[in-house]
Amino acid sequence: AQLRYADVISGDEGVDLWTDRSVGDRDSINGSGSFLIRRGRLVFSGDLGQYFSYYIQPDFASAAGTTDNVLQLRDAYFDVALDRAKVHRFRLGQSKVPFGFENLQSSQNRIPLDRADALNSGVRDERDLGVFYYYTPSTVQALFKEIAGAGLKHSGNYGMFGLGVYNGQGSNRRDANDSYHTVARFTYPMKLDSGQFLEFGVQGYRGRFVPNRGSFRNSATGGAVTVANPADDLRLLQGFRDERVALSAVMYPQPFGLQAEWTWGRTPGLDASTRLLDEEDLDGGYVQAMMKVDAGRYGTIFPFLRWQTFDGFNKAELNAPRNRVDDWELGVEWQINKQVELTAVYHLMDRNNLVTGNRAGRVDYTRFNSDVLRVQVQASF
Amino acid sequence: AQLRYADVISGDEGVDLWTDRSVGDRDSINGSGSFLIRRGRLVFSGDLGQYFSYYIQPDFASAAGTTDNVLQLRDAYFDVALDRAKVHRFRLGQSKVPFGFENLQSSQNRIPLDRADALNSGVRDERDLGVFYYYTPSTVQALFKEIAGAGLKHSGNYGMFGLGVYNGQGSNRRDANDSYHTVARFTYPMKLDSGQFLEFGVQGYRGRFVPNRGSFRNSATGGAVTVANPADDLRLLQGFRDERVALSAVMYPQPFGLQAEWTWGRTPGLDASTRLLDEEDLDGGYVQAMMKVDAGRYGTIFPFLRWQTFDGFNKAELNAPRNRVDDWELGVEWQINKQVELTAVYHLMDRNNLVTGNRAGRVDYTRFNSDVLRVQVQASF
Amino acid sequence: AQLRYADVISGDEGVDLWTDRSVGDRDSINGSGSFLIRRGRLVFSGDLGQYFSYYIQPDFASAAGTTDNVLQLRDAYFDVALDRAKVHRFRLGQSKVPFGFENLQSSQNRIPLDRADALNSGVRDERDLGVFYYYTPSTVQALFKEIAGAGLKHSGNYGMFGLGVYNGQGSNRRDANDSYHTVARFTYPMKLDSGQFLEFGVQGYRGRFVPNRGSFRNSATGGAVTVANPADDLRLLQGFRDERVALSAVMYPQPFGLQAEWTWGRTPGLDASTRLLDEEDLDGGYVQAMMKVDAGRYGTIFPFLRWQTFDGFNKAELNAPRNRVDDWELGVEWQINKQVELTAVYHLMDRNNLVTGNRAGRVDYTRFNSDVLRVQVQASF
Map out the domains of chain C as residue ranges.
Answer: 2-379
A71 touching chain C per CB within 8 A: yes
Mean pLDDT of B199-209: 97
Considering only CA atoms, which of B374, B323, B321, B327 is closest in space to residue B350? B327
pLDDT average, residue stretch B361-371: 85
Give C2-379's CATH code, choosing from 3.40.47.10, 2.60.40.10, 2.60.120.200, 2.40.160.10. 2.40.160.10
Which chains share 3+ C-beta pairs under 8 angstroms with B? A, C
Query: What is the maximum alpha-carbon separation in chain A?
Result: 66
How many residue pairs from chains B and C have C-beta atoms closer than 8 A?
110
Question: Residue B350: its pLDDT value, please?
Answer: 94
Q: Is A167 in the B-facing interface, judged by CB distances under 8 Å?
A: yes
Choose the closest CB to B37 out of A129, A131, A179.
A129
User: Rounded to whole angstroms, what are the CA distances from A312 to A136, A239, A263, A264, A269?
Assistant: 33, 18, 10, 9, 8
Contact A26 C52 (CB under 8 A): no
Q: Residue C265 — φ and ψ, nearest 5°?
A: 175, -170
pLDDT at B26: 61
For the ranges A181-195, B108-122, B216-230, the lowest mean pLDDT is seen at B216-230
B298 touches chain A (CB under 8 A): no
Provide the pLDDT for residue A64.
67
Q: What proportion of chain C, given as a percentage, has pLDDT over 90?
A: 63
Distance CA C122, CA C244 (A): 8
- pLDDT exceeds 80 at position A177: no
For chain C, counts of helices (H) and of strands (E): 4, 18
Contact A175 B37 (CB under 8 A): no
H or E segment to which residue B104 belongs: helix B101-104
Widest CA span of chain C, in angstroms?
66
Go through C51-81 and write b for each residue having 16 or more CB atoms within 10 A of its CB, e for each that does not: bbbbbbbbbbbbbbeebbbbbbbbbbbbbbb
Cβ neighbors of C296 (< 8 A, separation 6 or more) are none
Give the amino acid at B227: V
SS3 call for C290: strand
Judge whether B216 and B225 are in contact, CB under 8 Å.
yes
Q: d(Cα A261, Cα A102) in Å, to the nearest integer?
A: 8
Lowest mean pLDDT among A37-46, A225-234, B184-193: A37-46
Residues from chain B contacting residue A65 (CB–CB below 8 Å):
64-65
Residues C349-372 have a mean pLDDT of 83
Which chains have at least 3 CB atom pairs separated by less than 8 Å from chain A? B, C
Q: What is the pLDDT of residue A45?
A: 87
Residues A36 and A21: their CA atoms lie apart, in Å, by: 7
Question: Given pLDDT bands bounded at 50, 70 and 90, which one contains residue A172?
Answer: confident
Phi/psi at A118 (nearest 5 deg)? -55, -55
pLDDT-derived band at A183 (thresholds 50, 70, 90) equals: very high
Higher per-residue pLDDT: A356 or C333: C333
Check pLDDT > 90 for residue B359: no
Mean pLDDT of chain A: 90
Report the candidate in B9, B342, A60, A115 with the shortest Cα–Cα distance to residue C60. Answer: A60
Q: For residue range A300-350, list pLDDT tens digits in order.
A: 999 999 999 999 999 999 999 999 999 999 999 999 988 889 999 999 999
- The highest-confidence range among A41-45, A358-362, C301-305, by mean pLDDT, is C301-305
pLDDT score, position C49: 81
With CB atoms and an 8 Å threshold, state whether C78 touches A360.
no
pLDDT at B158 over 70: yes
Contact list, B65 vs chain C (CB under 8 Å): 64-65
Q: Report the pLDDT averaged over residues C315-323.
A: 93
Q: With contacts defined as CB-CB under 8 Å, which chain A residues touch B71?
A: 58, 70-73
Q: Which of residues 328-357 of B touch A (CB under 8 A)?
A: 336-340
> Residue C354 has what pLDDT?
87
Residues of C in contact with B70 (CB under 8 A): 64, 70-71
B128 vs A237, more confident = B128
pLDDT digits (tens, 9 = 90+) for C119-164: 999 999 999 999 999 999 999 999 999 999 999 999 999 999 999 9
Which residues neighbour A218 within 8 Å (Cβ) at sequence distance 6 or greater?
A225, A272, A273, A275, A363, A364, A365
Higher pLDDT, B78 or C249: C249
Asked if C52's CB is within 8 angstroms of A340's CB, the reply is yes
Query: What is chain B's length?
Result: 381
pLDDT at B181: 95
Give the model's pLDDT for residue B338. Answer: 84
Q: Which residues contact B249 (CB under 8 A, 6 or more apart)?
A: B198, B199, B200, B201, B258, B259, B260, B261
Burial class (CB in 10 A: 0-12, 13-18, 19+), A304: buried
Residue of B nearest to C1 (CA): B76
Assess C94–A contact: CB distance below 8 Å, yes or no.
Answer: yes
Alpha-carbon span C271 to B272, nearest angstrom: 45
Per-residue pLDDT, averaged over A55-81, amounts to 83
Residue A178, chain B, CB below 8 Å: the answer is yes
Q: At C27, which helix (H) or strand (E)? A: none
Region label for B221, one of left (φ > 0), alpha (ψ between -120 and 50) or beta (otherwise): alpha
pLDDT at residue C112 tops 70: yes
Average pLDDT over residues B108-136: 95
Instruction: Decide if pLDDT at A298 tops 70.
Output: yes
At C73, the pLDDT band (50, 70, 90 cuts) reads confident
State phi, psi for A144 to the nearest 5 degrees.
-55, -45
Residue pairs between chains A and C whose CB atoms are closer than 8 Å? 111
pLDDT band at B48 (very low <50, low <70, confident <90, very high): confident
C232 touches chain A (CB under 8 A): no
State yes or no: pLDDT of B65 exceeds 70: no
Phi/psi for A355 (5° steps) reads: -110, 150
The answer to whether the beta carbons of residues C166 and A21 sit under 8 Å apart is: no
Rounded CA gap, A108 and A123, in Å? 19
Residue C231 with chain A: CB contacts under 8 Å: 360
Q: Is the pLDDT of residue C360 over 70?
A: no
For residue A312, which amino acid is it? G
For residue B132, pLDDT beyond 90:
yes
Q: Is the pLDDT of residue A33 over 80?
A: no
pLDDT in the model for residue C3: 84
Residue A14 has pLDDT above 80, yes or no: no
Residue C230 confidence (pLDDT) above 80? yes
Exposure string (b/e) for B215-244, b if CB count within 10 Å is 16 or more? ebbbeeeeeeeebeeeeeeebbbebbbbbb
Please report residues of C whose CB lies closer than 8 A to that of B52: 336-337, 339-340, 379
Under DSSP, is residue C101 helix (H, G, I), strand (E, B) or coil?
Answer: helix
Pairing of strands C300-313, B127-135: unpaired
Burial class for C192, CB neighbours closer than 10 Å (0-12, 13-18, 19+)? exposed
Q: Could C73 and A42 be called an inter-chain contact, meaning their C-beta atoms sit closer than 8 Å?
A: no
Q: Does B222 touch chain A (CB under 8 A)?
A: no
Asked if pLDDT for residue C87 goes beyond 90, the answer is yes
- Which of C21, C67, C340 is opposite residue B72, by nearest beta carbon? C67
Does C283 or B49 have the greater pLDDT score?
Answer: C283
The Cα–Cα gap between B154 and B292 comes to 13
Residues of A in contact with B30 (CB under 8 A): 174-175
pLDDT at B60 > cutoff 80 = yes
Q: What's the pLDDT band for A248 if we cut at 50, 70, 90? A: very high
In this predicted structure, the answer to whether residue C27 has a pLDDT above a threshold of 70 is no
Considering CB atoms only, which of C34, C42, C380 is closest to B175?
C34
Q: State mean pLDDT over C285-314.
A: 96
Provide the shortest C-alpha distance from residue C254 to chain A (in Å): 41
**pLDDT above 80 for B5:** yes
Diameter over CA atoms, chain B? 66
**Over pLDDT 90: what percentage of chain B?**
63
User: Can you tell me the distance from the alpha carbon of C73 to that of B348, in angstroms, rounded to the nearest whole number?
Assistant: 43
Q: What is the pLDDT of residue A35?
A: 81
Can you give the pLDDT at residue A193? 96
Per mean pLDDT, which of B95-104, B372-381, C366-375 is the most reliable? B95-104
* DSSP letters spanning C111-171: SSSS--HHHHTTSGGGEEEEEEEEE--HHHHHHHHHHHHTT--------SEEEEEE-SS-T
Lowest mean pLDDT segment, chosen from A115-119, B180-184, B230-234: B230-234
What is the mean pLDDT of the segment spanning B18-46?
74
What's the confidence (pLDDT) of residue C100?
97
Bridge partners for A347 per DSSP: A329, A372
Strands (E), chain A: 2-11, 35-39, 44-48, 52-64, 67-81, 88-96, 127-135, 161-166, 181-191, 197-209, 240-251, 256-271, 276-291, 293-294, 300-313, 322-335, 340-352, 367-379
Taking only the tens place, the pLDDT of each residue in A107-120 is 889 999 999 999 99
Test mutation, B94, B132, B180, B181, chain C, max C CBs within 10 A: B94
Q: Is the CB of residue A163 less than 8 Å away from at least one CB of chain B?
A: no
Among A209-213, A219-223, B133-137, the range scoring the smallest mean pLDDT is: A219-223
Cβ pair C182, C128 in contact under 8 A:
no
Mean pLDDT within A262-291: 96
Pairwise pLDDT comparison (B38 vs B345), residue with the higher score: B345
| Preceding amide of A98 cis, omega within 30 | no
Confirm whether the ipTM is greater than 0.85: no
Mean pLDDT of all residues in A356-361: 67
If you average pLDDT over every residue of chain C, what do you get?
Answer: 90
C-beta atoms of B174 and C21 within 8 A: yes
pLDDT of residue A28: 64
Which residues in chain C are contacts of A360 at CB distance < 8 A?
231
Query: Does residue B21 surpass a pLDDT of 90?
Result: no
Mean residue pLDDT across chain B:
90
Give me the pLDDT at residue A61, please: 78
Q: Report whether pLDDT(A366) > 80.
A: yes
Q: What percent of chain B has pLDDT over 70?
A: 95
**Which DSSP string corresponds to A162-222?**
EEEEE-SS-TT----SS--EEEEEEEEEEE-TTS-EEEEEEEEEEEEE------B--SSSS
Residue C292: count of CB within 10 angstroms of its CB: 20
Please give the radius of gyration of chain B, using alpha carbons only, rounded to the nearest integer. Answer: 21
pLDDT at B293: 96
DSSP-based three-state secondary structure for B362: coil
Is A178 in Cβ contact with B31 (below 8 Å)? yes
Distance CA B52, CA B212 (A): 36
Q: Which of A139-143, A174-178, B222-226 has the highest mean pLDDT?
A: A139-143
Which candidate, A37, A353, A24, places its Cα nearest to that of C176?
Answer: A24
Whether C375 contacts chain B with CB within 8 A:
no
Question: CB contact, 8 Å: C60 with chain B?
Answer: yes
Residues 6+ apart with CB under 8 A from A86: A136, A141
| B169 pLDDT higher than 80 | yes
Residue B49 in contact with partner chain C when CB distance is under 8 A: yes
C70 and B65 in contact by Cβ < 8 A?
Answer: no
